[in-house]
A and B are shown apart, each in its own frame.
Chain A
Amino acid sequence: MDTTRRGFLGTIGKVTIGAAASVAGASRSATAATQSGAADRSVAHWGMVVDLRKCIGCQACTVACIMENDVPEDAFRTHVSVYELVKDGQDPAMVMLPRLCNHCDDPPCLPVCPVEATFKAENGEVLVDASKCVGCAYCVQACPYDARFINHETQVADKCTFCFHRTQAGLLPACVETCVGGARNFGDLNDPESEVSRMLRENEVSVLRPEMHTNPNVYYIGLDDVLDGRIAGDAAYTPPVETAHRAIHEEGA
């Protein structure tokens, strides 16, 4: 069982550049933890900690988001990529990687917006004012995570809002509420007592595309660095939309 034993241990218990370079929230919650924090705590700063060890790839988050936010047919605000990864001779292993807007503290999508329709809200959400958006899609180009899209129904930029409408009502984001594995954890990074702050303190975390220095507020536990950016290898098979692919079912032989 030796090969299996080596397994993935490499990846957990390793600080990636990400953690070093841009764990804004992590350091924030750390400082918040040290000081009385009153100032910091007054306003919540939302963040998400995704524990990849807990993700079972059930896509409940993906579908809940679609239902909650009426995401149009051809787009996702969040989804979970699934990979089979073989690392230097180890046994193949499954990685389910939930993706959504990182609500970056340095969001490349924001400065490019010509009309200031994209902005950072009080609690750290990066939002789009749909009535202001001219639909130039410059932000879509600028986001390093493919987290934005033009909503073909409303013709404006669309993306994860961290379920702004729900958090305002004291509720959890839809994808978090329904996370079967408990991988998605959401809360106030300014509150050292919060679950997410605790998780950031107690675990090695990393972020996607740390080299972009976007200071994401979505952190990952157990993210292998070969998966933290654009991923080599074949894309998942998708059949031609209009027709299901050929399959003859034969009776008898």
Chain B
Amino acid sequence: MGYQVQELVGTVHEAAWLPWAVQYFFLIAVSATALLLALPGFVLGREGALPASRLALMVAVTTGITAPIALLADLHQPFRFWEFFIYTHRTSWMAWGAWVVPSYVALTLGFAWAVHRPAFFQMGQDNWRFAWLFRLLSLGGSGNAFAPLIGIGAGLTALGILTYTGMEVMIVRARPLWNTPFLPLQFAATGAVGALGVMLVLERSLCRDGNLEAALNRRLAIALGLVSVLGGLWFALALSGLSPRHSEALASVAGFPTWQKIAAWGALSIVVPFVIALVLPRRSGWVTGLIAIHAAWMFRWTVFMGGQAVPKVGSGLYDALMPTGLSGLMGVIGTFGLWLFLLIAYTTFVPWTLAGRPDNTRTATGPARSI
């Protein structure tokens, strides 16, 4: 039926989930997927996977610490975080998330510790300024046969993270853009893209090992491929009308020029690194890595901020798409700041290059890395 409406009096709703949320969902997804990428080396003990696993673990740990800190900031009553553990509302994915997140972070840190224990022990033996600290850190032993166990636990909670973050957003029927069955998968896939992107950048800046770069680029290409397949299916379902939910999601933003631009942008930031990663997997790590990080982050910004810019009952769009004010931006920059700090600290104090296959017979060889 043909009709035309002009809203003469309406209201504007500001976004209730702030850029902090974007940061959290970005970092936690990167962390969880990175953790999974660290398992081949440190749990399955594949020698060849070690270089990549070392970087993956570094990423998992640093983002894994930063993410919950960002999350806390998105609570308007941060001091009341403890209530999550007193009254757990079983019907709320967020309530469950409140339990998953700390377990994941704890296990990941435990895993990282276990993996590095031999090196810590080693560094505790030599006599130098901070030896005492490493003696403490190693808890007076170098055995880490139990590492794979912790690793498996961490891996399971990582899956828990990917599930709960995906579901928490996906079940929100009030937001068509979120309420699509694909969303959890897309979060995971783009998470992997982000993780590999970060690993590539770290590889370029810390290792400069062409084979590793190429390997990572290959994996990135696979992840990007997955993302585009999901994206393609998403559109197919939406356009074909096979899945009303997807159609509604598309309808909720289609027709708005801003969104057409966003779609194009998104597509490019998937295709471009994909092609580069395939065509010249070597010496392209910086480019593919950075674009990949950007793509993963951008996906979340669009989903969260863009999603909140879609009125539920009113006309037009709210302008939540742009970070509201300096405070919003500072949130974004600030979390990246913390993350960078942790990376520096990690690369400085953790003998990460020595992390090897967990096994209690083997003792670290060679001098402890000078600090």
Contacts and interface: CB of A to CB of B under 8 A. Distances in A.
A99 interface: yes
22 contacts: A81-B11, A81-B314, A86-B3, A86-B4, A87-B2, A89-B2, A99-B313, A112-B172, A114-B89, A135-B76, A135-B77, A135-B80, A136-B94, A141-B308, A148-B16, A150-B76, A208-B313, A226-B5, A230-B252, A233-B315, A234-B316, A235-B12
A85 B4 contact: yes
A144 B76 contact: no
Q: Is the interface of B mostly helix, strand, loop or mixed?
A: loop
Given A114-B98, A143-B312, A235-B316, A83 B8 contact: yes
Interface string A123-154: 00000000011111110111111101110000
Nearest to A231: B315
Given A132-B87, A156-B76, 14 more contacts: A82-B8, A83-B7, A85-B3, A86-B4, A140-B16, A141-B17, A144-B174, A149-B13, A149-B14, A149-B16, A212-B174, A229-B313, A231-B5, A235-B316
A181 interface: no
Contacts of A81: 7, 9-11, 313-314
Interface string B162-189: 0000001001111100100000000000
Contacts of A155: 76-77
Interface residues of A, number: 55
A213 to B, nearest CB: 9
B249 to A, nearest CB: 12
Contacts of A212: 173-174
Q: Main secondary structure on chain A at its contact with chain B?
A: loop
Interface in A50-88: 57, 74, 76, 79-88
Interface of A: 57, 74, 76, 79-89, 99, 108, 111-116, 132-138, 140-146, 148-150, 155-156, 208-209, 212, 226-227, 229-236, 238
Contacts of B84: 114-115, 134
B8 A112 contact: no
A234 B6 contact: yes
A108 B173 contact: yes
B343 interface: no
A230 to B, nearest CB: 6
B369 to A, nearest CB: 43
Interface string B1-39: 111111111111110110000000000000000000000
Nearest to B248: A211
Most A CB contacts (10 A, CB to CB) among B10, B84, B94 go to: B10
Contacts of A140: 16
Contacts of A226: 1, 3, 5
Contacts of A138: 92, 94, 168
A138 B127 CA distance: 53
B286 to A, nearest CB: 37
B95 A87 contact: no
Nearest to A155: B76
Nearest to B307: A141
Contact of A230 (B88, B92, B97, B314): B314
Most buried by B among A86, A140, A144, A235: A235
A232 B74 CA distance: 31
Interface of B: 1-14, 16-17, 74-77, 80-81, 83-84, 86-89, 91-95, 97-98, 168, 171-175, 178, 252, 308, 310-317
B92 A233 contact: no
Contacts of A112: 91-94, 171-172
Contacts of A134: 75-77, 80-81, 83-84
B89 A233 contact: no
Given A99-B313, A230-B252, A231-B314, A111 B76 contact: no
A133 B314 contact: no
A231 B92 contact: no
A135 B75 contact: yes
A115 B312 contact: no
Contacts of B315: 230-236
Nearest to B7: A236
Contacts of B12: 235, 238
Contacts of A232: 5, 315
A149 B318 CA distance: 14
Nearest to A79: B11
Nearest to A88: B2
A141 B91 contact: no
A58 B6 CA distance: 18
A229 B176 CA distance: 13
Contacts of B86: 115
Nearest to B83: A115
A84 B76 contact: no
A141 B174 contact: yes
A150 B9 contact: no
Contacts of A89: 2
Which 8 residue pairs spanning A and B have beta carbons closest together? A135-B76, A235-B316, A137-B16, A111-B91, A82-B9, A114-B95, A233-B5, A140-B16
Contacts of B75: 134-136
B5 A116 contact: no
